[in-house]
Amino acid sequence: MFSGKIRYAFCLLNRNREFSMSSTSAPAPSNFIRSIIDADLASGKHRNIVTRFPPEPNGYLHVGHAKSICLNFGLAQDYQGKCNLRFDDTNPEKESEEYAQSIQDDVRWLGFQWDGEVRWASDYFDALYGFALELINKGLAYVDDLTPEQMREYRGTLTQPGKDSPNRDRPIAENLDLFARMKAGEFADGAMVLRAKIDMASPNMNMRDPAIYRIRRAHHIRTGDKWCIYPMYDYTHCISDALEGITHSICTLEFEDHRPLYDWVLDNITIPCHPRQYEFSRLELHYTITSKRKLLQLVNEKHVSGWDDPRMPTISGMRRRGYTPEGIREFAKRIGVSKSENSVDMAIMEGAIREDLELRAPRVMAIINPLKVTITNADGAQAREADFHPNMPELGKRIVPFGKELFIEADDFAEVPPAGWKRLTLGGEIRLRHSYVMRCDEAVKDVAGKVIELRCSIDHNTLGKNPEGRKVKGVIHFLSCEHALPAEIRLYDRLFTVPEPDGDREVDFCTHLNPASLTVVQGWVEAAVRDAAPETRYQFERLGYFVTDRRDHRPGGKLVFNRTVTLKDSWAKEQP
């Protein structure tokens, strides 16, 4: 009797569920990078801006990358410029097509599109090799065969200058010959490196003749076995920026000490474009870690189910958790861009997600911890039509059926209620959401004294209206047992129990894993969600925001919901 209306309402829901708060959100606040861009455009230094996002395809992107994506692509978008996606694929042993594809998927999911084709550092391997030859010919690079231990010894310390390598003054012709033979594969891995000749006494350790090429026999995801020498990141990155005409090369603050090397390379090769590097503080989000090495450890040691586990701070994990791209972009806007420490409470992220879901998520009822209710006077009781969202009529309506047997949340009943209790108790009345006023007449217990059933009666004159002569304050949600659908409900919480799980380097961060970060329960949901596609978001009234799992949920079959976030910040009163 209800299926036709439910299907129609669900079609309306799907058609409208892409409603976004982004169209009404405020413009991005100014920051020091925007001020630089404004000045560059005003002075005529640049007519247009070109930024880039340069991840290494050696893992899945995390929330810190999301901030960088929003910054680089957002700047290009706001200034009608361009943003390139360029993979730093100079470390072939750790890179894979899987990671590269996941990164592209993440960027698109966040709502951005790069300019033109995807770019790769390997696109420039021939050019990079040519620029290395130019440095050698200028006497600004040399082949060194010191062992790694000797190189560390010669490099010096933060308080002591380094020493020149015995190979620093090799003749140019010899360096050219050795470098060509390195390329030809005549030497073992690690036997030699090509170093820039800068200043072994520099107070900046990055300028003490850094290696710019090393021998590494590893199959490359794009060039195969063509190369057995690979350029180092600091050398590759600045040249790639210049070849692409990047105007503002934006990176995190740990690269500030690398900027002199960035400039040195570009100042000493024949290349017309010289981008400028600007650094901002990286994101440190409480109750998470953003080290790729440690995230990989969580995956490999089976602490999580994979890179896209909804507890992971990866973009794919946040997506599977039910976070919205609009909410993540709003979070990035709120935390801002600066050079000061960017340690952010998880509540800011969760708040941005809640606010976005409040605008877009249809509301339905679900029961996580069911307590059976038998209605003793159910004859003649009627179903009622209800909106999917009180402020969004375009999301449509669905039927909320009623029956002789109901499920309510066990937590909504108390035999001995505490002060201020506004839910169900013996002899008390409450309003069933979208339905009748109900009175609890009897509690049935098992042999252990646990309440296993309530026997209640309804006021037939209260469907859609208040009772006469009395006020009922409490409202609880319910499901008709006959119409409710079973569902696997995954209650996700924060992965760690402390704000900075890797704050103490002497303590294994895994000791702070939250044993209650995932609880799986068998619950019940409204029939209106039967055909929901994967990644459909809902507010389960009074329980939180949930999403159908993008991996395991089957429309019309096995229903799997992940809790995205609670309705309120349950961590507001954190332990000291």
Question: Which three-class secondary structure state does DSSP give residue 93?
Answer: helix
| Phi, psi dihedrals of residue 179, rounded to the nearest 5° | -65, -40
Which secondary structure element, helix H or strand E, spans residue 6, and what is its range? helix 3-16
Long-range contacts (CB closer than 8 Å, 24 or more residues apart) made by 302-308: 303/510, 303/513, 304/495, 307/59, 307/60, 307/102, 308/60, 308/551
CA proximity to 278, closest of 30, 31, 33 = 33
Question: Which three-class secondary structure state does DSSP give residue 282?
Answer: coil
Q: Alpha-carbon distance 162 to 208, whole Å?
A: 7
CA proximity to 128, closest of 77, 73, 183 = 183
Decide: 407 and 372 in contact? Cβ < 8 Å: yes
| Tokens (6 digits) for 402 | 């009623």
Cβ-proximal residues to 304 (8 Å cutoff; 6+ apart), any chain: 298, 311, 312, 495
Decide if 56 is catalytic: yes
Cα 497 to chain centroid distance, Å, stands at 19
Decide if 292 is catalytic: yes
Q: Please pick, among 119, 292, 363, 431, the residue that the annotation labels catalytic.
A: 292
Q: Alpha-carbon distance 368 to 524, whole Å?
A: 7
Q: Please pick, among 17, 56, 360, 409, the residue that the annotation labels catalytic.
A: 56
Residue 18, judged by CB atoms within 10 A of its CB (0-12, 13-18, 19+), counts as exposed
Long-range contacts (CB closer than 8 Å, 24 or more residues apart) made by 446-454: 451/371, 451/410, 451/413, 451/415, 452/371, 452/372, 453/371, 453/372, 453/373, 453/374, 454/371, 454/372, 454/373, 454/374, 454/408, 454/413, 454/424
Q: Please pick, among 282, 433, 455, 530, the residue that the annotation labels catalytic.
A: 282
Residue linked to tokens 């005549």 = 186
Cα 362 to chain centroid distance, Å, stands at 23
Q: Alpha-carbon distance 557 to 560, whole Å?
A: 9
Decide if 282 is catalytic: yes
Question: Which three-class secondary structure state does DSSP give residue 317?
Answer: helix
Name the percent of the chain in helix, strand, coil, to the closest 5: 30, 25, 45
Which secondary structure element, helix H or strand E, spans residue 466, and what is its range? none
Laid out side by side, the sheet with 141-144 consists of: 141-144, 193-196, 211-215, 229-231
Neighbours of 487 (CB within 10 A): 24
Q: Alpha-carbon distance 90 to 287, whole Å?
A: 32
Rg (CA), the chain: 30
Please list the active-site residues. Answer: 56, 282, 292
